[in-house]
Amino acid sequence: MNKNDHIQTDRRMESGAPLLELVDLKTHFKTERGLVRAVDGVTLSLKRGESLGVVGESGSGKTVLARSIMGLLPSTAVKHGSVKFAGQDILGFSAKQMRHLWGAEMSMVFQNPLNSLNPLMKIGKQITEPLKLHLGMDKATATATALQLLRDVRIPEPERRLNQLPHELSGGMRQRVMIAIALACGPTLLFADEPTTALDVTVQAQILDLIGEQRRDRNMSVILVTHDLGVVAGHTDQIAVMYGGKLVEHAPTKTLFANMKMPYTKSLMRSIPKLSDPSHTRLATIPGRPPDLVNPPLGCNFAPRCMYALPKCHVEEPPLTPTADPKHVYACWYPVGSPEFEKRDAELQATGYMPEDFSAVS
């Protein structure tokens, strides 16, 4: 299916070794207010063909994480740690060095398909340009490949689309085109930064299924960045929950949903409306705002908003602790299931999870 495999075969390592490995990645921005710790010590690894969901609220650092890996940050960013892609440390790569990876080895699908296509360039041209650039295809081959890509992403009448401008297509179609462009050169790593946020719910599922399908067909790794736990549930192998620039829980998807440890993950889960709820159920929200990344709170970042926080949470930062399953790590002093948590949960249940004193705190 993928005609471009031969180009990458020499760079592909023995199966089993991670394709992407982050060790203590830190991305800080120098601003007038001070140092913004947008990503603060993230360690992750992703095998080829696997998909990772990065979940968190706005401002949790998930987009910055994705862009740090891709090297798409402004020059005010200061990066530490290491990002290994296919065994190569790419964190210090210049834009010039990264350009060989962009498109060919890693590419990105953006949030808003209405904005991510050039309004004045025909769809066909937008797909064939990277093909000509990276793979040196001639016009005819590139056009044939573009047609195949449009068919792969299930766009009806692909021949006609090649000569259309983006505004002639619907939002869902444009996102499909965007995915086709991102897939064009056969990347091994695809970033999808909230790819369905701008689309309506029925189209959302189709787009996510499409990304999943292409991942399997092309044996490509996917990093799905989203704020919606529901989105990642069915489409990822592992989930990293981020809060305030830090990893707070990281586990294989099934393990995470079966056994959430971090109260923040639990709260995120609770804030998704459920069909089984009786009507007019008040939606559980997480009170307060994400932490100020210039002056993060002492102790656990989430403590000021956490209904289960005890004094220790406010002074000491919890380390990432493994559970019985070493792949499942979390950062919490009193995780779900601990005696302290259960005690507090019982108290909260009595008040219907709406403690009066809480609004005063936040």
Partner 1 sequence: MSDGNIHGADIAVDAAGLTATGGVDPNGVSTSDATAQANADGAASKRRLGVGFWIAVFWLFIVFFAATFAPWLPFKDPDSNYIVSGERPPYAPSGAHLFGTDQDARDLLSRTVFGARVSLTVGLVAIGMGMLFGGFMGIMAGYFRGWWDRVISFIFIIFLSFPALVLAILITALLERSLRTISITLGILSIAPVGRIARATTISFADREFVLAARTLGAKNSRIIIRELLPNVLIPMSALALLGMAVAVVAEGGLAFLGLSVEKGPTWGKVILTGAGSRDLQKAPWIAIIPIIVLFLTVLALNFAGDRIRSYFDVRETAL
Give yes or no for a contact between 243 and 264, defined as CB atoms under 8 angstroms apart.
yes
2 scored as a contact of partner 1 (CB under 8 A): no
Site for partner 1 in 185-214 (CB under 8 A): 185
Each residue 248-277 as x (binds partner 1 by CB under 8 A) or -, in order, gives ------------------------------
Q: For partner 1, which is the closer residue by CB, 160 or 343?
A: 160
Q: For partner 1, which is the closer residue by CB, 90 or 108?
A: 108
Non-local (6+) Cβ contacts of 282 within 8 A are: none
Residue recorded with tokens 């790590």: 329
117 scored as a contact of partner 1 (CB under 8 A): yes
Label residue 346 exposed, middle or buried (CB < 10 Å: 0-12, 13-18, 19+): exposed
221 scored as a contact of partner 1 (CB under 8 A): no
183 scored as a contact of partner 1 (CB under 8 A): no
What is the b/e burial string over 95-127, where b = at least 16 CB atoms within 10 angstroms of the residue's CB? eeeeeebbbbbbbbbbbbbbebbeeeebbbbbb
How many Cβ atoms from other residues are within 10 Å of residue 305's Cβ?
A: 21
Q: In angstroms, rounded to a whole number, what is the distance separating the alpha carbons of residues 250 and 332?
A: 12
Q: In angstroms, rounded to a whole number, what is the distance separating the alpha carbons of residues 15 and 5?
A: 15
Q: Which of these ranges, 19-27, 54-62, 146-154, 163-171, lies near partner 1 under the rule CB under 8 A? A: 163-171
Q: How many Cα atoms within 13 Å fall on the side-chain side of residue 328?
A: 15
Q: For partner 1, which is the closer residue by CB, 56 or 195?
A: 195
Residue recorded with tokens 């095998």: 47
| Among positions 134, 215, 266, 305, the unique one binding partner 1 when judged by CB under 8 A | 134
How many residues at the interface with partner 1, by CB under 8 A?
A: 34
Q: For partner 1, which is the closer residue by CB, 137 or 309?
A: 137
Q: Which of these ranges, 181-189, 261-269, 284-292, 330-338, lies near partner 1 under the rule CB under 8 A? A: 181-189
Q: Which residues bind partner 1 (CB under 8 A)?
A: 70, 72, 99-104, 106-108, 110-112, 115-121, 129-130, 133-134, 165-167, 178, 181-182, 184-185, 279
